[in-house]
């Protein structure tokens, strides 16, 4: 069950925010700002009673828990970055390569033999990056999706996320959660002219090319592997997060086979399950809005958007995108 920005489903007694299209707290009637379905959802015996709403404080708390549970993340010695040139806000659109060296000086590729990394990497070559081209999903690719989900659900991090969402009445069982993860992330929809050419996973983690520009592509593993092949060229960075360990956050400029990405924010050095879990949490708790989290005592926000042109199940929304908001 998802909270939508124009609905009170799962949002009763949620704190007031100017970002919200409509509101679900008790005062909304006085200010004539309630969502249309406020009365249907916000009765004491409904699903969306106040105990089911995910508060801002709970998001800060659970994100810190997930941060501490990222046992598969890179250690400081596993990655050596060479960020080089820092672009000003006015320079990010210049498409000039200010950094002659690659971004990654060194990555300990033993990380990639861990089950969640290995199963994640197998998914990356399953997509045609240009939107408007129908995706053909083979039986082997479906097995790879199932295997990735199976591996991430073995981790303490994803089990903690499920326990939190289960407590908040979003899912009745782990099987239901798994089935929904597969639909919201891997379900196909059309970004082009009717072809089933895209999915949340492809857009966020693998990357797409739309109208001559890089779209999505927010994953450090994908970036490193393509940079190593000489397919991705790092230009500059416009933001480097305050973390002195991993996961860190970087806002960066790069080209992919000649297609440009003006600002591609990404977690650096996190495990696949960390990124997958954090984006899932924010998509369910704050879809279409900034989702304010805390990682190691530092504030961080994630922006997600729902795909509005098609649905699955009983009106559930696919993930259109999810990414870290860099200042």
In eight-state DSSP terms, residue 154 is T
The active-site residue out of 25, 168, 237, 261 is: 261
C-alpha dist (Å) from residue 94 to 153, 209, 312, 323:
42, 19, 40, 22
For residue 315, the tally of other CB atoms under 10 A from its CB is 8
The active-site residue out of 210, 218, 237, 317 is: 218
User: Is 275 within 8 Å of 286 (Cβ atoms)?
Assistant: no
Q: What is the residue-wise DSSP string for 50-73? A: GGGS--HHHHHHHHHHHHHT-TTS
User: Is 324 within 8 Å of 300 (Cβ atoms)?
Assistant: yes
Tokens of 322: 């999810």
**Catalytic residue at 71?**
no
**Catalytic residue at 261?**
yes
Residue with tokens 């929304």: 317
The active-site residue out of 41, 168, 203, 237 is: 203
For residue 194, the tally of other CB atoms under 10 A from its CB is 8
Sign for the pseudo-dihedral over CA of 106, 155, 66, 54: positive
**Catalytic residue at 203?**
yes
Catalytic residues: 203, 218, 261
């Amino acid at each position: 069950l998802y909270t939508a920005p124009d609905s009170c489903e799962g949002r009763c007694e949620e704190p007031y925010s100017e970002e919200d299209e409509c509101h679900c707290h008790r005062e909304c009637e006085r200010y004539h700002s309630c969502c249309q379905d406020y009365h249907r959802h916000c009765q004491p015996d409904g699903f969306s009673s106040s105990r089911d709403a995910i508060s801002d404080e709970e998001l800060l708390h659970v994100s810190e828990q997930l941060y501490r549970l990222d046992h598969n993340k890179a250690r400081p010695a596993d990655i050596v970055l060479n960020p080089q040139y820092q672009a000003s806000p006015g320079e990010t659109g210049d498409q000039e390569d200010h950094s002659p060296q690659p971004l990654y000086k060194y990555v300990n590729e033993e990380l990639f033999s861990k089950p969640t990394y290995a199963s994640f990497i197998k998914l990356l070559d399953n997509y045609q990056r240009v939107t408007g081209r129908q995706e053909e999903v083979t039986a082997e690719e479906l097995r790879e999706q199932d295997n990735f989900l199976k591996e991430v659900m073995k981790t303490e991090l994803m089990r903690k996320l499920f326990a939190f969402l289960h407590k908040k009445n979003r899912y009745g069982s782990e099987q239901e959660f798994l089935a929904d993860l597969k639909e919201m992330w891997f379900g196909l929809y059309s970004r082009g002219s009717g072809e089933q050419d895209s999915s949340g996973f492809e857009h966020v983690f693998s990357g797409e090319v739309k109208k001559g520009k890089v779209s999505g592509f927010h994953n450090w593993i994908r970036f490193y592997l393509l940079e190593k092949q000489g397919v991705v060229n790092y230009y500059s960075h416009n933001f480097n997060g305050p973390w002195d360990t991993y996961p860190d956050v970087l806002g960066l400029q790069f080209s992919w086979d000649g297609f440009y990405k003006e600002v591609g924010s990404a977690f650096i050095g996190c495990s696949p399950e960390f990124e997958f879990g954090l984006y899932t949490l924010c998509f369910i708790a704050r879809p279409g809005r900034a989702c304010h989290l805390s990682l190691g005592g530092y504030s961080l926000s994630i922006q997600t958007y729902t795909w509005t042109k098609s649905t699955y199940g009983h009106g559930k929304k696919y993930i259109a995108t999810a990414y870290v908001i860099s200042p």
